[in-house]
Amino acid sequence: MRDDGLLKTEITKLKEEVGAERENIETIDGLVKKQIEREPGLWEYDFDGLGAEMWKRFQTLEKNSDCLSEEQYLPAQRFRAAFLRRLNKFYRVLTTPVSRAILDKKKQFNLDQQDLLNKENIPFFLAMILTLQKIKDRLNVLEEAVNKLGDELEDE
């Protein structure tokens, strides 16, 4: 036979313990042992928030775009460069096994740079699109208000 009295006492005691522990946990994340809320998405910002995000992204883009820009050469430098390129090529063939390891690192560096730019580029354009969308919404509201005013005048 199940001893209801004993079970009830045991559950009451446990609930008191668990309840006290529960009270001491301040966040919902702590209560359920997981992160329940993500970072805010761009689409949740208002006009000012979107503007701030765009400038933030733009600053990073401007700063990072320089490291990918090409160097400009003078004609004399170009002649020397052709010779140096050939020499370089010959040297590269000789040192391929060694340089491969180094070039892999360089390649990875370039990919990382590209990735960084993409990470900034995409939100930048998304923020711009969302801003345009919000401008469109505002225009729709204004248009509706103008129509209403027109109706009102017609009623008068």
Q: Which residues bind another protein (CB under 8 A)?
A: 1-4, 6-8, 10-11, 14-15, 18-19, 21-22, 25, 27-28, 30-34, 36-41, 43-45, 49, 148, 151-152, 155-156
Nearer of residues 41 and 51 to another protein, judged by Cβ: 41
Contact 90, 16 (CB under 8 A): no
60: nearest Cα among 122, 132, 131, 108: 122
Distance CA 112, CA 118 (A): 10
CB of 14 to another protein, least distance (A): 6
Q: Give residues with Cβ within 8 angstroms of 25, minimum separation 6.
A: 31
Q: Which is nearer to another protein, 36 or 101 (CB)?
A: 36
**Exposed/middle/buried for 121, CB within 10 Å: 0-12, 13-18, 19+?**
middle
Smallest gap from Cβ 139 to another protein, in A, equals 15
Question: 73 phi and psi, to 5 degrees?
Answer: -110, 150
Q: Cβ of residue 2: shortest distance to another protein, in angstroms?
A: 6
Least Å from the CB of residue 34 to another protein: 8
